[in-house]
A and B are shown apart, each in its own frame.
Chain A
Amino acid sequence: MTLDDTDRHLVNLLQDGLPIGPAPFEEIALKLAISQTAVAKRLGRMKEAGVITRFGPFYDAAAMGGAFCLCAMEVPAERLEPVVTCVNAYPEVAHNYERAHRLNMWFVLATETEAEIATTCKRIEAETGIAVLAFPKLQEFFIGFRVAA
């Protein structure tokens, strides 16, 4: 799909958020001189084409009561594949990345409670024989990140 200027404006402007109300596209439609239906249709097309991954509320998972923690392991190269299989099998492991560092495996644990973070780390350590370093967030900073379309 090729993006026209209106699509680009939509992506750029709608990253900042829309008001919650009966007609959330009213203001942006006026600004871009298109109908609210056209805004909705363009967003739907961009979602279908994979230009946007979603449109909707961004929930703060921690505010909903869950617990999250970034963890890292130093996995010997020759054991990487079996350890990946073992770690990924835990439903608590939400994301897992191989990174270029001595600590070469980085994953995020997502559990219902804080206590389950520690017990999951211990279970993974017991099963793999490799230490799990936990890096819980101490402070989160407001993010100004925007992608220019």
Chain B
Amino acid sequence: MMLDQTDRALIAETQGGLPFVPEPYAAVAQALGLEEGEVLARMQAMQDRGVIRRVAVAPNHYRLGMTANGMTVWDVDDAVASDLGAQVGALGFVSHCYLRPRARPLWPYNLFAMVHGSSRDEVEDKRGQIVALLGAACRASDTLYSKRILKKTGLRLTGRT
């Protein structure tokens, strides 16, 4: 989707979040010197084209007790990897799910699923559910627990065109 300068200004204004008022888009319009109707139309257009996935709350996993996470990785038969990946992604405890290229011999895994739980035991338990779901299509798997966050910056788009 081609984004113009006004779309980018809207993104820059809202990517950190909407204001906590009953009419947040009116407040965004005022901040940018736009009509509320134009803000709503542009936001809706961006949602329709997938630039905006949804307007929602992002809970703090850690604060709500989801303190353990493991990057589970799976070597899944290519013939069924797409179908099975969709089923794994739909599980309520998987926050990211992708097919990626293998890098043999060091890395035989093609399906990546980030699993969250309140403890490592719970992550292992949920991992077991994926094992059961994949069945014989899965030849090998591993779980990579994070030891340390080395860097974390939000993805930020500047107001550039």
Report A's interface with B, CB cutoff 8 A.
Answer: 10-11, 14-25, 35-37, 39-41, 43-44, 47, 49-61, 63-66, 70, 72, 74, 84, 87-88, 93-107, 110, 133, 135-149
Q: With a CB–CB cut-off of 8 A, which chain B residues contact A53?
A: 58-60
Report B's interface with A, CB cutoff 8 A.
Answer: 1, 3, 11, 14-18, 20-26, 36, 40, 43-44, 46-47, 49-61, 63-64, 66, 71, 82, 85-86, 88-101, 103, 106-107, 112, 116, 142, 144-153, 155, 157
Q: What is the distance, in angstroms, from B153's C-beta to the closest C-beta of chain A?
A: 6
- Are the CB atoms of B40 and A22 closer together than 8 Å? yes
Number of residue pairs A-B, CB distance < 8 angstroms: 231
List 25 A–B pairs whose Cβ atoms lie within 8 Å, in order of A's numbering: A19-B55, A20-B25, A20-B43, A20-B47, A20-B55, A22-B23, A22-B25, A37-B22, A39-B22, A47-B20, A51-B63, A57-B54, A57-B55, A58-B58, A59-B15, A59-B53, A60-B51, A60-B52, A99-B71, A100-B144, A110-B155, A139-B98, A141-B88, A147-B64, A147-B66
Q: With a CB–CB cut-off of 8 A, which chain B residues contact A18?
A: 54-56
Q: What is the distance, in angstroms, from A70's C-beta to the closest C-beta of chain B?
A: 7
- Are the CB atoms of A55 and B58 closer together than 8 Å? yes
Q: With a CB–CB cut-off of 8 A, which chain B residues contact A70?
A: 100, 112
Contact A17-B55, Cβ < 8 Å, known A50-B60, A51-B60 = yes
Looking at chain B's contact residues, the main secondary structure is: mixed
CA distance A36 to B90 in the complex (A): 31
Contact A17-B54, Cβ < 8 Å, known A136-B100, A141-B86, A141-B97 = yes
Residue of B nearest to A61 (CB): B155
Residue of A nearest to B146 (CB): A97
